[in-house]
Amino acid sequence: MECFRLILSLILGAEVIVTTFLLYDLSEEINQAQEEAIVGEYPFHCLYQLVNPQYQESASLNNQSLASCDLWIHELRRSAHKQLLSDIRNALYRQLTASNITLSQSKKPVIHMGAEQELRQFPNWLKNDGENNIRRTKDNLRWDNINGLSVQQGMMGYSPDGEIVIYHEGLYFVYSQVYFQLLPSIQEKRSQHFLQYIYKKTASYQEPILLSKAVVTKCWNTAPDLQLFSSHQGALFHLQQGDKLSLQVTNIQTVRLQEDSTFFGAFMIN
């Protein structure tokens, strides 16, 4: 009975946390929608249809627009459902970890995520002042743990700040690949170094700890073509409960933000 009460309290606590997170995420989505609306790319007629299903009967939309809206709404609901499940799982894992409870039958911790699209990386893009500015700042990439090729199972979490959260101590293989692209307009030099860094945050040390890095130097020709090149790394690390992993690059504007080109992941070995 005592165990049942503990589990019930954990679930209730997780629901409160998830509700708070969803409200915050909703405000972020509204701000995101406003940014997209400025450039005229957001499907407002689809939003009207989502809120009022009878809207399509009164609106002067062609069959192609209606079909596109139906597909968009379906994907939105599917993504919202997956996001809700992910948030509940992460909140429950945090509560279990805080209470020192281990799920003996849980799957081995695994996570694999592709890069979020440009709008999701918006805070990092604001730090850079245009395509022609290739600087040595480090940008923290954000990842999509919901859609596409993403995999997340076992006691492995993901934070909105782009960090993999370790809930179970052990030996982990951590890997990443970053695809860099360079437009002719920013090929200012004959060669350029592009770096990616895997950092770890711990509860006992405030500053991020560098675990590994990879560098690629591209020497391009004078042809006015798009230049593509990849950088990848992977290594074994012993990680503690509560550790957070992040991937940073020297300039996010040169990163190809596609899930099959740029990805980040980790899985437990023992």
The CATH number for 216's domain is 2.60.120.40
Q: How many residues does the chain have?
A: 270
- On whether the CB atoms of residues 144 and 257 are closer than 8 A, the answer is no
State whether 217 and 164 are in the same domain. yes
State whether 29 and 150 are in the same domain. no
Give the domain-ending residue among 63, 84, 101.
Answer: 101
Q: Check residue 110 and give its pLDDT.
A: 94
Q: Name every residue whose Cβ is closer than 8 Å to that of residue 128 and which is 6 or more positions away in sequence.
A: 135, 137, 139, 251, 252, 253
Q: Check residue 134 and give its pLDDT.
A: 43
Chain mean pLDDT for the chain: 74
State whether 130 and 220 are in the same domain. yes
Q: How far is CA 24 from the centre of its chain?
A: 17
194-250: per-residue pLDDT in tens? 899 999 999 888 899 999 999 987 765 555 567 788 899 999 999 999 999 999 998
State whether 22 and 156 are in the same domain. no
State whether 58 and 74 are in the same domain. yes
**What's the pTM value of the predicted model, to 2 decimals?**
0.63
Q: Which of 68-82, 109-123, 209-223 has the lowest mean pLDDT?
A: 68-82
Residue 37 has pLDDT above 60, yes or no: no
Q: Check residue 202 and give its pLDDT.
A: 94
State whether 214 and 170 are in the same domain. yes
Buried b (16+ CB within 10 A) or exposed e, 208-232: beebbebeeebebeeeeeebebebe
State whether 91 and 217 are in the same domain. no
- What's at 118, amino acid-wise? E
Q: Check residue 195 and give its pLDDT.
A: 92
- The whole domain housing 78 covers 1-101
Query: Residue 132 — pLDDT band, cuts 50, 70, 90?
Result: very low
State whether 60 and 164 are in the same domain. no
As for how many domains the chain has, the answer is 2
Give the domain-ending residue among 45, 71, 101.
Answer: 101
Q: Is 126 helix (H, G, I), strand (E, B) or coil?
A: helix
- On whether the CB atoms of residues 47 and 32 are closer than 8 A, the answer is no
State whether 6 and 53 are in the same domain. yes
State whether 182 and 62 are in the same domain. no
State whether 153 and 205 are in the same domain. yes
146-197: per-residue pLDDT in tens? 888 899 888 888 987 899 999 889 999 999 999 988 766 555 555 677 899 9
Give the domain-ending residue among 101, 130, 154.
Answer: 101
State whether 193 and 96 are in the same domain. no
